[in-house]
Structure 1
Amino acid sequence: MTTLFSSYRLGDLTMPNRMVMAPMTRVRAAAGGLATPSMATYYAQRATAGLIVSEGVQPSLVGQSNPGTPGLHTEEQAASWRAVTDAVHINGGRIFAQLMHGGRVSHPDTTGHQPVGPSAIAAVGEVFTPTGPQPAPMPRALNTSEVPEHALAYAEAARRAIDAGFDGVELHGANGYLISQFLSSNANQRADRYGGTIAGRIRFAVEAVAATVDAIGAPRTGIRLSPGGGFWGVEENDALALNTALLAELSPLGLAYVHLEATTDDEVLVGLRHVWPGALIVNPVLPMGPKQTGREEADHWLGLGADLISFGRGFLANPDLVERLRVGLPIAPVDEATYYQGGDAGYLTYPAYQHAA
C-alpha cells in the first residue's frame, strides 16, 4: 500500500518518502544574489524530505522579483550554491533549484531595469523593493524577437544549477510570475505567436521547458503550475482547457514531474492528473492561505492520484517534519513575522521535536 512514507523513483533519484519541501521565498541571500552559509544550514536541516525544491532563484537580473533573493545568472552565484547542495547531499537529501523569472512582478529600484512582461499591463498590488513596498510598475512588453532569450534564460540558469550540484530544476510557471503571465488570459494581450489563442499563450512555457530539457535533460526538469490562480492579478479564465493543452505539449518531453498547486477545485486538478502521464506533485492547500498541509490533506491527494505531496509552512517551522508526521508528533506553528525579515531568527532557530526525558 502506497503511503506518504513509501519510497519513490523520481527521474534518476530514489526518494525515501513522498514528501516534497515546497519552494518558499526567504530573502536571506547576500549582496549580488549569493547563497550563504546560513542557507546551507537551513536546507541541510530539512534534508529528510524526499525532495527539497529551493526558494525561487532568478535566472537573469531583469528576472529578479524581490530584493535579497539568490540568483543563478553569474558564475559567482553558481559557485556560492555549491556549499548548499553539498550540505544537503552530505545529510542524505536531494535538492532541485526553482528557477523564477518575476516578469512584471519586479521594480527598477530592485534590479536597475524596467520590468518586462508579455504586455504593458501592471501587476495588481505592491511589490517589495529595497526601500519597502511600492506599487507594481508598468512593465515593458517584450518584442517578439526578445521572447526566446527569456525562455533560454531558464536553460542557462539550469546549466549553472547542475554545475553547482543541484539534482535538477523546477521552472516556476505559477503564481503570477513570467511564465504564468504568458499563460494568463488577462496579463497576456499579445497579438503575435505568443498570445491570443491557448496555443499561443502556452508557447513561451513550452519553449522555456524544452530549452531546459535540451540543456540538462528531462529527468532533471520539472515545472510548477497554479491552474486558475489569481496571484498578482493574473487570471486564467479557461484554466482546464489551458492547462490541459499545456500538459499535452509537455508530455512528450518526459519531464521529471509537474507540480500543481491547489488554486482551483479538485475536479480540475483530477482532470489534469488524468492528462499528465508522469510524476505529479500536488500542493494540497492554497499557498499562503489559512490552512497548512497536514497528513489528512496529503492522504486525500495520494488517494486522488498524486505521486508526491509538497509541504510549505510545515517544513519552514519543522525541520523534522517527516518524522513528526510519521509518528504523529505535534506540528510547531510558524512565526509569520520572520518570513522575510532576514537573519537567522525564524530561519535556523526552529528546533527538531524535543522528547521529554
Structure 2
Amino acid sequence: MMRCPPLCKLLVVVIFYCVTLHRFVSGNTTEEPTDPETPTMFTREHISRMHQRSRAYRRQEIRAKVLEFLGWTSIPQINPRDRAIINSTLANISSIRITERQCFSASCDLPNRIDETLWNDSTSGSLRLMFDVLPSDSWTNAEIVNATLMLHLKERPLCNCEDDHGTERISIKVLQYLKPLRRRNRSRGGRTNRRSTVRQRILWTSIVNWTPNTWVAIPVQQAANDWIVANKRNHGFEVMVIDQYNLPINATNVFSSIECRRPADVDCIDTIFRTPLYGGTSPFLQVYKTESPFVNQRAKREAGRERYEETLQGRPESTQKIASVQ
C-alpha cells in the first residue's frame, strides 16, 4: 500500500476544511458523492468566491446585530435630500483634519542603542530626557502644530555667599541628540580607542528667572516633527544650565527629577496655574498635531492585498492554494 507523504496529508486536511467552510457559508449541508480516487482541486476563482460569500455572511451578521442593538427591525429609509448631504460629506471627508493633543512623561527606560552609563552620568551636570513618542502613519499626513517641553523649577539652594545674585537669572540651553549617546570603537595604530561621540542640535536657549515651583515652557517643535512626522529615531534631549557669570550649574539641582513610575503616555489637563498633569513635577512633553485619519483607507487596504497576491504568484502552485485558503 502506498504511503501518503506529510505534504499530501496537509493538503487533504486543508481541502476538507475548505469544503466544510463552503457548505457552512452557502447553507448547503447535503453530502455530495465524491470519488475517493480523484482529489478535489480548488482554483483561485473558487477560493475567491468562498471569501466573498464569507464576507457577505459576516456583513449580514453585523447588520443584524446593529439593528437589534438600535431596536430596529429594518433599515431606515433616508430621503433624497439627506442622502445627497451624506454623499457630499463622504466625498469631502479626505479634507477633514483632526487636531490631537498628546502628553508624554519622561521615561527612565532607554533603548539599547544608548549607553546607559553615559546617559546617567551625574558628573556631566546636564539633565538628559527621553520620551517614548510613537511616529504617525504616513498616510495620515500628520503635521506638528506645537510641541512644548515642560520643566519644573525647584527651590533655589541656600547659600551663605556674600553675593548670591548669580542664580536669580539662569540661562537654559536645550539640545536634541541627533546620534545616540554611546561609546564607539576606533582603531588607531593597531590600538582600540573607545570614544564617546556626541552629535546634537540646539533647539532653544534663553535667560529665565529662577522662580521656585514654576514651569518653564520650551518650544521643541523641530524635534517632535522629526520623531512623529519624519519617523526619525528618537535619541532624547539634553538640558544645560549656566548662571549669570557663565558658570555651569548642575541641571538636576535646578529642575525636578523624573518620576519613573509614571506611564509614558499620560492624560493632558488644561490648567492655568502651576500644577499640570495632576500635580506632578516630572518633566513632560506636550504635542499638538493635526492629521487626516480618513484619507486613503481603501487604497491602503487594496495595496496590501495586491502585495499579498504578488507574493503568492512567486510561490509553487500547491503553496499558493494553501496560503489562499488560510
TM-score range, shorter chain: under 0.3
How high is the TM-score relative to the length of structure 1? 0.18
Of structures 1 and 2, the one with the larger relative CO (CA 8 A, separation 6+) is 2
Higher strand share: 2
How high is the TM-score relative to the length of structure 2? 0.19
